[in-house]
Amino acid sequence: MKILVIYGGESSEREVSLKTGKGIYESLIKQDYNASLYDFKINQLNELIVEIGSHDLIYIALHGKDGEDGKIQALLQLLGKPYIGSDHTSSSLAINKSLTKEIANQKNIPTANFLSISNSDDLNLKLDTVNSNFSYPIIVKPNREGSSFGFSIIKEKSDLEKSVNNAFKYDKEILIEDYVKGQEFTVAILDDDGPVALPVIQIIPKNEYYDFESKYTEGGSEHVCPANIETSLEKSLKEYAINAHKALGCRHYSRVDFIVTDQMEIFMLEVNTLPGMTPTSLFPDAANAYGLNYDQLISHLIKLAKN
């Protein structure tokens, strides 16, 4: 079986994708799979289609726009080629943070109060709405971006417009959220006769929040897995994560991020349909605690995609 690992891309998460793709490729080679790497460029679709046609299975190792947003998934479905990860509908929903939060609210999965702003809106009017409906500090972030690009914690009203304009550099729609102070947790979901919640991870970043440096720099954060938490909290986090995975129609694997206050209030942050697979990534840590090392995890995902 020939497996094509599509990685790289042109989003702001390119460097992360390169590391994810390299890790997956090296694991495949070590396991004697016939694997190839392809660095994706949006203006080289014809070349990509040829590459896809000469392989039996596709591992999407892209992150962010044009990779995690359903576009590649839609192409692969049109070509009838099996691939690892959620389909184009689920991918396009999950990368859209505001839609994800709306679906979560419908399923009684708690999320922080939020407001969406488009670059076509009357900005002054929207800023007035923010100041009328939110108490500082607040969160400003792009609606369809990952790895904390364009993310800001705003503590003063005077900093709002600057942060909003910075977030618009990454997406035409941004999200304003209540700032929730608490501990960060993530729950990896792996399909195996239905979605299974892997051991909960507590994230302890060295910076104020789990930013790009904390995520991808060696020693940038501590991952406690399994998290040292009460059984009731663990159960709730896993239930919410599985429900979010199902509500968005995810398949094969996903990762659901949460923040928990000192009063044990749980707020879902977002759902990742193509979790990072770098040496510092969270999903491999959870799988390892579940009993699957990196190579076994990759092999399991391949089996899921073949079925």
Q: For residue 217, what pLDDT is reported?
A: 57
270 counts as catalytic: yes
Give the confidence band of 278 by pLDDT, cuts at 50, 70, 90.
Answer: confident
pLDDT at residue 129 above 70? yes
218 counts as catalytic: no
Structural domains of the chain in order of their starting residue, each with its CATH number: 2-84 (3.40.50.20), 93-110+181-306 (3.30.470.20), 114-178 (3.30.1490.20)
68 counts as catalytic: no
Q: For residue 67, what pLDDT is reported?
A: 87
Given the residues 64, 255, 281, 290, select the one marked as catalytic: 255
216 counts as catalytic: yes
CA distance 103 to 243: 11
Q: Where does 200-230 have alpha helices with state H? A: 212-216
Given the residues 12, 13, 148, 253, select the one marked as catalytic: 13
**23: Cβ contacts below 8 Å, ≥ 6 apart:** 277, 278, 279, 294
272 counts as catalytic: yes
- Give the CB-side neighbour count of residue 264, counting CA atoms within 13 A: 8
CA distance 67 to 60: 8
Are 62 and 40 contacting, i.e. CB atoms less than 8 angstroms apart? yes
- As a whole number, mean pLDDT of residues 137-155 equals 85
Give the confidence band of 65 by pLDDT, cuts at 50, 70, 90.
Answer: confident
Q: For residue 218, what pLDDT is reported?
A: 58
Q: For residue 215, what pLDDT is reported?
A: 53
Given the residues 12, 91, 147, 163, select the one marked as catalytic: 147
More confident position, 208 or 96: 96
More confident position, 217 or 22: 22
Give the confidence band of 194 by pLDDT, cuts at 50, 70, 90.
Answer: very high
CA distance 207 to 47: 42
Work out whether strand 2-8 and strand 57-60 pair parallel, antiparallel, or are unpaired. Answer: parallel
Given the residues 145, 146, 276, 281, select the one marked as catalytic: 276
10 counts as catalytic: no
Q: For residue 66, what pLDDT is reported?
A: 84
Phi, psi values for residue 110, rounded to 5°: -70, 135
255 counts as catalytic: yes
276 counts as catalytic: yes
Given the residues 216, 240, 253, 290, select the one marked as catalytic: 216
155-180 per-position pLDDT tens digit = 999 999 999 999 998 889 999 999 99
Given the residues 87, 171, 211, 270, select the one marked as catalytic: 270
CA distance 281 to 298: 14
